[in-house]
Copies of this chain bind each other. A is one copy, B any other.
Amino acid sequence: MINKVVANADEAIADIMDGKTLMLGGFGLCGIPENCIAALVKKGTRNLTCISNNAGVDDFGIGLMLKQHQVKKMISSYVGENAEFERQLLSGELEVELIPQGTLATRCLAAGYGMPAIFTPAGVGTEVAEGKEVRNFDGKDYLMEYAFDADFAIVKAWKGDTTGNLIFRSTSRNFNPIMAMAGKITIAEVEELVEVGELDPDHIHTPGVYVHRIFQGKDYEKRIEQRTVRKRD
């Protein structure tokens, strides 16, 4: 089997240069590639375009990169809960492109499945439709939306093997598998890196063919954004 293992996050992101387009998995702070984000902050790569459903919070996730002014443009569906983001946006330091969440997801899928464009009704008749081709199928209007073209996809999985097969845990799956498919180069950090043969082929969410580098992550903080609980009796 082909071996994709690199030593750590620093090695995994070493060739991500200024000005590149990155996809970053996760929904809110759930399932984000914490190690790679930390390494990107350390490396200080700038002028990045980041495709990610959200933009982290002030002191975690992509928020850490925003604070260091590493991000030129965010492509997201929802960017709340981040004061520094708001400040940079209002001051014109940061560009933002807001995309319906399903369109964001499906444009990832399209890239991973070699489909140059897809049709979705989301945004028809709204400002999202501006400049886009509208096409009617069977009486309903759809927008044509293009596959993403990202230099790197950076994802976080629960388990992965040395050949790059990935398994995600619970709702930390979210955008991770579809971004993993969509990157020209895909980097996966995992909570547990195992040898080939340890993962059941029927349980693999992302086949290794989509993954170019994998490493054993460490010190996962897994911060909770909205801790909601029921009282114990």
Question: Chain B contacts of A119 at CB under 8 A?
Answer: 115-117
Contact B202 A170 (CB under 8 A): yes
**0/1 interface trace, chain A 89-116, chain B, CB 8 Å (1 if under):** 0000000000000000010010001111
Alpha-carbon distance A24/B138, docked complex (angstroms): 25
Contact A202 B142 (CB under 8 A): no
Alpha-carbon distance A109/B119, docked complex (angstroms): 13
6 additional contacts, CB 8 Å, given A109-B113, A114-B120?
A106-B113, A116-B119, A116-B138, A117-B137, A168-B202, A203-B203
* A41 in contact (CB, < 8 A): no
* A155 in contact (CB, < 8 A): no
Listed from nearest, the 8 A-B pairs whose CB atoms lie closest are: A116-B137, A116-B119, A203-B203, A115-B118, A115-B119, A117-B119, A116-B142, A169-B202
Interface residues of A in 157-212 (CB under 8 A from B): 167-170, 173, 201-203
Question: Chain B contacts of A146 at CB under 8 A?
Answer: 137
Question: Chain B contacts of A203 at CB under 8 A?
Answer: 202-203
Q: How many copies of the shown chain assemble into the complex?
A: 2
Alpha-carbon distance A201/B172, docked complex (angstroms): 13
Which residues of A are interface residues toward B (Cβ below 8 A)? 106, 109, 113-120, 137-138, 140, 142, 146, 167-170, 173, 201-203
Query: Binding site of A, secondary structure by majority: helix, strand, loop or mixed?
Result: mixed
A-B contact pairs, 15 of them (CB 8 A): A106-B113, A106-B115, A109-B113, A115-B118, A115-B119, A115-B120, A116-B137, A117-B137, A137-B146, A167-B202, A168-B202, A170-B201, A173-B202, A202-B203, A203-B203
Alpha-carbon distance A137/B203, docked complex (angstroms): 35
Alpha-carbon distance A106/B110, docked complex (angstroms): 11
